Structure 1
Amino acid sequence: MNIWTKTLAAAVLAGLQLSAFAAGTPVKLYKNPHCGCCDVYADHLKQSGFEVEMIDTNDMQAIKAKFGVPEKLEGCHTATIGNYVFEGLIPAENIKKVLAEKPPIKGLSVPGMPVGAPGMPGNKKGPINVYYLNASATPKVFSTF
């Protein structure tokens, strides 16, 4: 087996492990009952193997305050999985990575409602950053898609 075959095999195995990781993982997704993108985002998570419980609320500010989401990192909805908070339209792969690696972070955030993110129709206008969810004055990038 050459180095390229070994590398490919390792990548495939890691991908399979990560994709299976979400199977049956419960997600609580707090959303405005009138937001259609949140429903599409919930479908994105379900297609990735998560079990999504949607919780409608007309007071998203109270939810964001409860989970300590800084205003500059606020997204469309707030999801929780275990002790992690996932704010906004985060790709499922990023969530799976956090759950698999269990880093000592509060969670992740995609602020706003960027076009082309999971749940938002349209073509991306450029790269979209996923930030570590923290109260830092300067948010740090977790990944870009």
Structure 2
Amino acid sequence: MKFHHRISARLLVTAALLSTATVAAAQNIEVYKRSSCGCCTKWVDHMRANGFAPKVHEMDDLDPIKKKLGVPMELGSCHTAHVGGYVIEGHVPADLVRKLLKERPKARGLAVPSMPAGSPGMEGPHKVDYEVLLIKPNGQYSTYAKR
């Protein structure tokens, strides 16, 4: 019986250390959203669950931050984030943000225009196919991924 308890204790210690390491390795991300937006809060939760450490700034008017970060008006969505020198506009999946940060392309960032059903934070019974767009330095954009 003592052997079983030692193994259990070691597993608990190992799990705690791994959990601490994950928290320590979390990527900081600045998120700008309206306080009343529930889907934005769900996207923040999605990012947190996927290893990001969101710092949320609630604002009434997001246009100044979108303009400052270079988000083309036609790519606008309900929230804007900034991570690793890139803008993240809308419901971009966390795995694609990680890919962007790993690849480090010359770009302003990623965008998911509007609020497509089935994207992170917009989960529900219906899902639509959508594109994640790479915003180039000149403001043009191209498809980065399809979901």
TM-score, with normalisation over the residues of structure 2?
A: 0.78
State which structure, 1 or 2, has the greater radius of gyration over its C-alpha atoms: 2
Distance across 2 between alignment mates of 1:109 and 1:23: 24
Q: How far, CA to CA, are the matches of 1:131 and 1:79 in structure 2?
A: 15
Alignment of 1:107-118 (within 5 A): 107-118=109-120
Give the 3-state SS of the residue equivalent to 1:65 in structure 2.
helix
Q: Does 1:102 align with 2:99?
A: no
The offset of 1:105, in angstroms, is 1.1
1:70 & 1:124 partners in 2: Cα distance?
28
Distance 1:141 1:81, change over 3 A: same
For residue 111 of structure 1, what is the amino acid of its counterpart?
A: P
How many correspondences in the alignment? 123
Partners of 1:124 and 1:97 in 2: CA distance: 26
Distance, in Å, in 2 between the alignment partners of 1:23 and 1:92 is 15
Return the alpha-carbon distance in structure 2 between the equivalents of residues 76 and 96 of structure 1. Answer: 21
What CA RMSD, in Å, does the superposition of the two structures yield over aligned residues? 1.6
Q: Matches of 2:67 and 2:58 in 1, distance apart?
A: 16
**Percent sequence identity over aligned pairs:** 39
Deviation of the 1:82 alpha carbon: 2.3
Q: 8 Å contact 1:73–1:133 — kept in the other structure?
A: no
Distance in 1 between the 2:123 and 2:145 partners? Answer: 21
User: Which residue type is aligned with residue 48 of structure 1?
Assistant: N
Residues 114-129 of structure 1 mapped to structure 2, 5 A cutoff: 114-129=116-131
Structure 1, unmatched stretches of 5+, are 1-19
Equivalences for residues 80-91 of structure 1 within 5 A: 80-91=82-93
Q: Aligned to 1:140, what secondary structure does the other structure show?
A: strand
Q: Measured at CA, do residues 49 and 125 of structure 1 come closer, stay the same or move farther in structure 2, by a change above 3 Å?
A: closer
The verdict on how the C-alpha distance between 1:125 and 1:50 changes in structure 2, with shifts beyond 3 A counting, is: closer
